[in-house]
Every structure is written in structure tokens, then in C-alpha cells.
Amino acid sequence: MTQDMAAQGLRESATFDRATIHAIQRAAETGIYDIRGGGAKRRLPHFDDLLFLGASMSRYPLEGYRERCDTDVVLGDRFASKPLHLDIPVTIAGMSFGALSAQAKEALGRGASEVGTSTTTGDGGMTDEERGESKSLVYQYLPSRYGMNPDHLRKADAIEVVLGQGAKPGGGGMLLGQKISDRVAGMRTLPMGVDQRSACRHPDWTGPDDLTIKIAELREITDWEKPIYVKVGATRTYYDVKLAVKAGADVVVVDGMQGGTAATQEVFIEHVGIPTLAAIGEAVRALQEMGMHRKVQLIVSGGIRNGADVAKCMALGADAVSIGTAALIALGDNHPSLDEEYRSIGSAAGYYDDWQEGRDPAGITTQDEDLARRLDPVKAGHRLANYLRVLTMEAQIIARACGKAHLHHLEPEDLAALTIESAAITRIPLVGTSWIPGQQL
């Protein structure tokens, strides 16, 4: 089609391209900002800009299968008496029941437990399905405090104090009326069918000095057993990580701008927060300067897609990664077999991000009982487990090629950067050179 346009002498503006024109017209018609799900879509410096060096004359690879490359991780052993022991360093990120169907939450629990990793509740509280299916469950503690209660705090395996997420650092939860079903309303103490308004700050603390006291409270309530995570959307990550450590966190979770959400304003997703690739370097430097690298564990999320991304995060210094969007895709989100249905609701397979509408034909980001029933939690859980295994095996393949006996033994020196930006951002030399822009030679 574009060739026809060009042949006719028509030229699209890069500034006012068709998508932008559509957005302006939509705003003019409706008078309200555009809300969608997912994370930042535009092209950003990301893990694809890094490459592994692999084996060479001086570095020897490990044989697959026979020569060990371990993948286990311990999270939260700084202060907690019962840290988490996971078999793989890939966890499932916080996503709420409400944003997701009960079937989806159950599937996530099944898949994670099958491979020995954890799931995380979201901005709606803990469901029995998820606690029942997840061998390791991280319980989020958010500004809204929907469904928060001490019984669930004690049933959890870890507690994640959420300051923000990558899609919307500084924004609160959002759930529109069409997804506030009876059950969701009951859990959140909201009237059915209203558009949920959420606070963006915690109600009873602001700032790391008061967070210190709040973390102490959560420890006191749970008798110091559970690891306390602190999650931030990637913004001033270097300072945030230092402050989280000072406030007493066992684990820090950093979520880059590619991290997804169930619903928020398009401008928030695309224009606030920094890429995951940039955040991870800041976080690791902060921990190293404090002598806390590997003592306070770092979990990174936001656009993790394959085992190469996992391995690169390990090499850059993370202890584990978390997946959200990728997990939903593994369950069945945006599957090509649903393309006709996506088109009937104004989208297409591979493009569907109207998770806020709750009309998901895959039965994942919906509260509609008929649609949700389409998702078989057992089959979907198995698909997730398959995907998690592939992520792990891919990361091991890469690690073995670099001669490493554990994924955590990957290091920045195993990497080269493909672009000047990524070299400057990650402080890894530009491929074929020893140059890191901004650093003294």
C-alpha cells in the first residue's frame, strides 16, 4: 500500500503519522485520554543491543546436559528467616485478579509451580486459586491496599511493597467498571461496575525514612519470617535502590518502561520511566557501591522475552527476572487462532492491547464468565511451564557457551554492545572496540 501512496506522490509525516492523526481525532471526539494495556511499544534501547562473546581460544564451553549449569536462586536471605528458594531465576510478576480472570491466575500458579518458581499477587488481593496453586507466592502491598489483610500476609511466602511499576511510575491502579464484577468488587470493597479510582501514594507512609518503619511493621506482624521486597518503576533507579536498601529491603524489584499494565493512560506508558536496559545498570552500581550486591537481591522486569534476555540480565548483575506480558502470551494472549475475534472488537492478533475493556477472547484479561471459561487453567498452566523451561534452557545454553557453571556466574565481560547508546547505557564496550562512551579509557 505504501508503494502505491508513494507512486501517487503521497508522503506520510514522521511527526504527524497516521497513528498520531488517529490519536488526535480520538481525543477530539471523546474528550478523554486514551487508556490501554501493555507496556511501552516504541523501539527503545533493549537487550537485543547486547551480544554474548561465547567461547574462544581462551574460554572453553561446557558440554550440554553433562556439565552442570545451575539455575537456582535464593531470594530474601538478608533478614528473613524463611527466604525463597527457587529452581529458576524467572518469576511471574504481579498482576491482579481483576485485571486477569481467576482462570488466568490459576494457570499462572500451576505453570510456575510446575517449574519451581513464584507468582505474585496484584492490586486486588490474594485469591484462593492462586494461593492454592502457587508453591511460592509473593503478596503485593500497594497504595490501594485492596483486599489487604494479615491472614494473607501470613499465608504469603514473601511480601512486595510496591512504590510503582515501569508502565506508570507515579500512577495508581486502574480498573474500569466493566471488569469490576461481583467477585472483584467484593475483594476490593468497591461498588460493582464503578470505574475504580486508586491512590498513587501509600496512605500511611511517604519517603524512605517512613518506609523503614513500615517495613519494620510488616516484619513484626509476620514475626520476621517473610522476605520483604520493594518494587519500583524505573526512574531514578540508582537512588531508589540505595534508599530501598537503607529502608531495610531484602530484595529490590526494578521494572522498566517496557513493563506492562492492565490499564493506564497511553501517554503514561510511552513517556514516563526509563528502559529496563538502563535501569539494570543503575541498580547494580548502586548495590555494588553499598557492598550489597548479591546480599540484597535484584529482580529485573520489563520486556523480558527469551533466554537471551534472561542471560543478559544475569550477566549485568541481576539475581532474577520477572515476566508479565510474556507470561500472558504464553497462556494464550494474542494467539493467531483468535484473529477473527480480535478483528470483531477492533483489533488484530499480535496487536491486541485493549485489556482494560475486559472483552478478551482468550479469557485472560477479562471478568466475563463466558470468555474466562475459555481458558483451561491446566492446559494454559502447562503452556506457561513449557515457556519457562525454554527460557531457562536457552539461558543455560548461552551460559555454557561462556563457560559458566551457574547462570549467576555470567558477567559483564561476557558481553559486547552493538550500538553507541547501549554501550554508554550499560558501560559495555562497543563491539570491535574497547570504547565505552562517557568513560575514561
Partner 1 sequence: MCGISGLHLRNPALYPQLGELLSGMLCEAAERGTDAAGIGLYGDPRLTPAGTTTVSVLDLAAPLEEVTRLLEARGLTGVRLLEAGQTTVISAANSAAELETAVRAALPDLIISGRGTQLAVLKGTGHPDDLAATFSLPSASGWQGVAHTRMATESAVTSSGSHPFSVGPDQCLVHNGSFANHATIRRELRADGIVFDSENDSEVGARFLAAQLAGGADLEKSLRLLCERFDGFYTLLVTTGDSFAVVRDAIACKPAVIAETADWVAMASEYRYLAGLPGVADARIFEPEPEQVYVWER
Partner 2 sequence: MGTLTDTPFTTIDLTAESVRELNRRLHREAAVGSRWRIIGSMGRHNIAVGLAEKLTVEIDGHVGYYCAGMNQLADVVVNGNAGVGLAENMMSGRVHVHGNASQSAGATAHGGLLVIDGDAAARCGISMKGVDIVVGGDVGHMSAFMGQAGRLVVCGDAGDALGDSLYEARIYVQGRVRSLGADCIEKPMKAEHLAELTQLLADAGRADDPAGFRRYGSARKLYHFHVDNASAY
Rule CB under 8 A: say whether 210 interacts with partner 1.
yes
Cα separation of 69 and 409, whole Å?
10
Which 242-271 residues touch partner 1, going by CB under 8 A? 242-243, 246
Partner touching 222 among partner 1, partner 2, none, CB below 5 to 8 Å by kind: partner 2
Cα separation of 275 and 44, whole Å?
7
Lookup: cell for 78 = 538478608
Lookup: cell for 73 = 536462586
Partner touching 208 among partner 1, partner 2, none, CB below 5 to 8 Å by kind: partner 1
Rule CB under 8 A: say whether 189 interacts with partner 2.
yes
Closer of 9 and 203 to partner 2 (Cβ): 203
Rule CB under 8 A: say whether 149 interacts with partner 2.
yes
User: Residues 6 or more apart from 393 whose CB is under 8 A from it?
Assistant: 307
Rule CB under 8 A: say whether 217 interacts with partner 1.
no
Report whether 296 contacts 249 (CB < 8 A).
yes
The residue range among 48-56, 237-245, 332-340, 342-350 that interacts with partner 1, by the rule CB under 8 A, is: 237-245
Residue 276's SS3 state is helix
* Cα distances (Å, whole numbers) of residue 90 to 32, 119, 244, 300, 353: 38, 10, 22, 10, 24
Rule CB under 8 A: say whether 239 interacts with partner 1.
yes
Rule CB under 8 A: say whether 212 interacts with partner 1.
yes
Query: What binding mask, one character per residue, do residues 201-230 give for partner 2 by CB under 8 A, x or -?
Result: --xxx----x--xx-xx--xxxxx------
Query: What binding mask, one character per residue, do residues 327-356 give for partner 1 by CB under 8 A, x or -?
Result: ------------------------------
List alpha helices for 165-265, DSSP H. Answer: 182-188, 208-221, 237-247
Show the beta-strand stretches assigned E in 201-292.
228-233, 251-255, 261-265
Helix, strand, coil percent content, the chain, rounded in steps of 5: 40, 15, 45
Rule CB under 8 A: say whether 200 interacts with partner 2.
no
Q: Which of 17, 182, 209, 413 binds partner 1 (CB under 8 A)?
A: 209
What is the full DSSP assignment across 127-150? -HHHHHH-SEEEEEE-SS-TT--H
Partner touching 438 among partner 1, partner 2, none, CB below 5 to 8 Å by kind: none
Task: Enumerate binding residues for partner 2 (CB under 8 A).
Answer: 30-32, 144-145, 148-150, 153, 176-177, 189-191, 194-195, 197, 199, 203-205, 210, 213-214, 216-217, 220-224
Task: Enumerate binding residues for partner 1 (CB under 8 A).
Answer: 201, 206-210, 212, 236, 239, 242-243, 246
